[in-house]
Amino acid sequence: MSKVLAIFGATGQQGGSVLNHVLSDPELFREYKLRAITRDVNSEEARKLKTRNVEVVEGDILSPTSLATSLIGVHTVFAMTTPSLGPDAFEVELANAKRIADVAVDQGAEYIIWSTLPSVRNISKGKYTAVVPFDTKAAAEEYIRTLPIKSAFLSFGSFMENYQSQPFLFPTKADDGTYVVSRHISPQAKFPLLDAVDDAGKFAGAILADPTKFEGKRLHCATKLYTITEIVTLLSKSSGKTIVYKQVSVEEFKASLPFFQDVFAEGFSLYDEYGYFGPGTEELVAEGAAVARGRLTTFEEYLERNPFQLP
């Protein structure tokens, strides 16, 4: 009998990628019965999933009762959380993560695949404490490792999709009609880029195909590292406009952002000074890419499919 795989975030980028990967992989599709968890089973995305052999079940991470119902009979859980805002952002997101994991254990799930991130606070030895969306996921990983459930962890790199979906980080127009990407980090700072929509599922797929091999392991998930200069050059080529990189002061960078100023400033500083995944980032990315179940998308290929458009 196939094992029920419950996917949180199935209507979003990374969860959707996990779901699509299993649907497209005959071996995994035979082994797992897909269950998409969503707050709204009647949303457009949820209705599309129902037409694709996917059980769509209502579940809200904020409600233990709703979670318990959504995880009845589950074997494996792919779980993720979204960042919270406000002064208690760390506590709120961590509580959400713990709630999913606790309910999964209570419901007798055997395996959880958790979407984690590195602890910026630990890697920087307390220098950077504002990157809460990373630190919470790392704390959740630590918690899940103490629970009576098998677990494996996916630490995703920086999404290629960000360049289309985060307009507040877009290049700005200079007086001469060219465009500038301004950050406080060195032109050589490296980003491990991941096509979240097409490729996140290839890492989850590796674990789903051989859960025993990956039990207790963390995969660092990206195609490869690109310097900010290389990224800007590729965006420029894709858009057909001149876009250049300019290193500015951290104050100037923060002043350009409408929110999450410290999160982005300290996050980018991490990549520059310590590496996105900390020491050995380059090797960790190469190791992760080597086990992904399928060929990973380069940023060049991503931009061919999704040309970069300036507003």
Instruction: Compute the least distance from the CB of residue 12 to ligand NAP, in Å.
Output: 2
Q: How far apart are CA 63 and CA 310, in angstroms?
A: 40
* Nearer to ligand NAP among residue 76 and residue 96 (C-beta): 96
Closest-approach residue to ligand NAP (CB): 12
* Nearer to ligand NAP among residue 117 and residue 289 (C-beta): 117
* Nearer to ligand NAP among residue 83 and residue 187 (C-beta): 83
Q: Pull the structure tokens for residue 178.
A: 């060219």
* Nearer to ligand NAP among residue 11 and residue 76 (C-beta): 11
Helices vs. strands in the chain: H and E counts, helices first: 15, 13
Q: How far apart are CA 224 and CA 222, in angstroms?
A: 5
* Nearer to ligand NAP among residue 59 and residue 171 (C-beta): 59
DSSP 8-state symbol, 295: P
Q: How far apart are CA 147 and CA 7, in angstroms?
A: 19
Instruction: Compute the least distance from the CB of residue 53 to ligand NAP, in Å.
Output: 18
Match 């993720």 to its residue by tokens: 80
Task: Report how far apart the first and last C-alpha atoms of the chain are (Å, whole number).
Answer: 51
* Nearer to ligand NAP among residue 62 and residue 255 (C-beta): 62
Binding site for ligand NAP (CB under 6 A): 8-9, 11-15, 38-40, 43, 59-62, 80-83, 117, 133, 156, 158-159, 162
Q: How far apart are CA 6 and CA 96, in angstroms?
A: 16
Instruction: Compute the least distance from the CB of residue 107 to ligand NAP, in Å.
Output: 16
- Backbone φ and ψ for 306, nearest 5 degrees, come out as -130, 75
134 contact partners, CB below 8 Å, separation of at least 6 = 117, 118, 119, 120, 267
Instruction: Compute the least distance from the CB of residue 46 to ligand NAP, in Å.
Output: 6
Instruction: Compute the least distance from the CB of residue 58 to ligand NAP, in Å.
Output: 9
Instruction: Give the pairing of strands 32-38 and 3-8.
Output: parallel
Instruction: Compute the least distance from the CB of residue 229 to ligand NAP, in Å.
Output: 19
